[in-house]
Structure 1
Amino acid sequence: MDDLEQLKYPIGRFTPPENVSAAQLEKYINDIRYLPASVELAVQKLDQHQLETPYRPGGWTINQVVHHLADSHMNALTRFKWALTEDNPTIKPYEEQLWAELPDVKKTPINVSITLLFALHTRWVNLLDNLTEEQWARTYTHPANKTTPTLKVVAANYSWHSRHHLAHIENLIERNNW
């Protein structure tokens, strides 16, 4: 893996699991459960200049990463709810890069998105902790990547997504000795 690839994908690219055991599912849920506290701890001592530093050349700033996590995970909870209440719904993708450049991302302090992550993840984990095997097997269709994942695979993806972006923040802090 070259240096830029390592900066982009510090924990590697997401690979959907073929089978998800109960232990793996519990790990995925815990990754989602603890993300808000992990992000809060990672950024708590950073100043505004540090928060405006991209985690890699051409990448998002820490501010953008934190706001992206809130945006992405709001969409994730909605996608779970669609899959649980509709028969294999087609979800609506969104332009993540464009969302990261909107005025709310530039003008809103990250503590607002961290607070949102705490509330959002509490709701999301309360849902995940109480799904039946039948519910975990439900699916949605993602039209952009033409997949129909089960909710177990979606949980794996958001576990990875949480750890992926946390690693962007933590690795930047470590590289710069902040």
Structure 2
Amino acid sequence: MSVAIYQLKYPIGPFTKPEPLDGRVVASAIDTIASFPTKLRLAVATLTSEQLDTPYRPEGWTVRQVVHHCADSHMNSFIRFKLALTEDAPIIKPYYEDRWAELADTKALDITYSLILLDGLHARWAALLRSLEPTALKRVFIHPEQGKQLALDEATALYAWHCEHHLAHITTLKDSKNWT
């Protein structure tokens, strides 16, 4: 992969686990998760249907697919968090995000539906996260594809990164196309 394509694929860089992963880092990650729907809504507010159907990089998803992907991914994550909080080290179910991105609702549906979904989902997710004691954030789920446990504090940081990562796909595309 060329450097230019890599930078388009990872405009904020790949996820790295914050060290130390302390209460301050987790609180900041929760704030990012809480504010994401508003930031996303602002980033796409003025885009036309044609612009929404523009890929953010060669062979990448369109902006429309990215918005719907965030709803899909974050719904899955929220459920994983709740499983980890109510079961002992549950094995989560992975999903084929690339296949989900090719379904009709992701490729063609108005993004308003996913924006509304993200508003409610992120409000609940942030409220849940803010209610947790530090020990609860050490609870884990097991990702079978990766064969490892993921603690909720690290998953919180990962999904804060995921929010910023996909937001940057959209804002970087807008900047490169001079879509103000």
TM-score (norm. length: structure 1): 0.97
Greater alpha carbon shift after TM alignment, 11-20 vs 96-105:
11-20
How far 1:3 moved relative to its partner? 0.5
Alpha-carbon displacement from aligned partner over 1:106-162 (angstroms, at most 9, x marks no partner): 332001100100000011011001001111110010011122111000001000000
Aligned match of 1:172:
173
Gapped runs of 5+ residues in structure 2?
A: none
Gapped runs of 5+ residues in structure 1?
A: none
AA of the residue aligned to 1:150: A
Where do 1:77-88 residues align within 5 Å? 77-88=78-89
Alpha-carbon displacement from aligned partner over 1:88-112 (angstroms, at most 9, x marks no partner): 0000000000000111113320011
Contact 2:68-2:114 within 8 A present in 1 as well: yes
How far 1:17 moved relative to its partner? 2.9
Aligned match of 2:37:
36
AA of the residue aligned to 1:11: I
AA of the residue aligned to 1:159: A
d(CA) in 1 for partners of 2:110 and 2:155? Answer: 29
d(CA) in 1 for partners of 2:66 and 2:81? Answer: 22
d(CA) in 2 for partners of 1:133 and 1:32? Answer: 18
d(CA) in 2 for partners of 1:81 and 1:5? Answer: 33
Moved over 6 A (4+): none
- Paired-residue identity, %: 49
Aligned match of 2:133:
132
AA of the residue aligned to 2:6: E
Aligned match of 1:4:
5
Aligned match of 1:69:
70
d(CA) in 2 for partners of 1:23 and 1:71? Answer: 28
d(CA) in 1 for partners of 2:115 and 2:93? Answer: 24
How far 1:23 moved relative to its partner? 1.2
Describe the SS at the equivalent of 2:46.
coil
Q: When the two structures are aligned, how many residues end up with a matched partner?
A: 178
Aligned match of 2:103:
102
d(CA) in 2 for partners of 1:173 and 1:83? Answer: 37
How far 1:19 moved relative to its partner? 3.2
d(CA) in 1 for partners of 2:99 and 2:8? Answer: 21
d(CA) in 1 for partners of 2:82 and 2:172? Answer: 33
How far 1:18 moved relative to its partner? 4.5
TM-score (norm. length: structure 2): 0.96
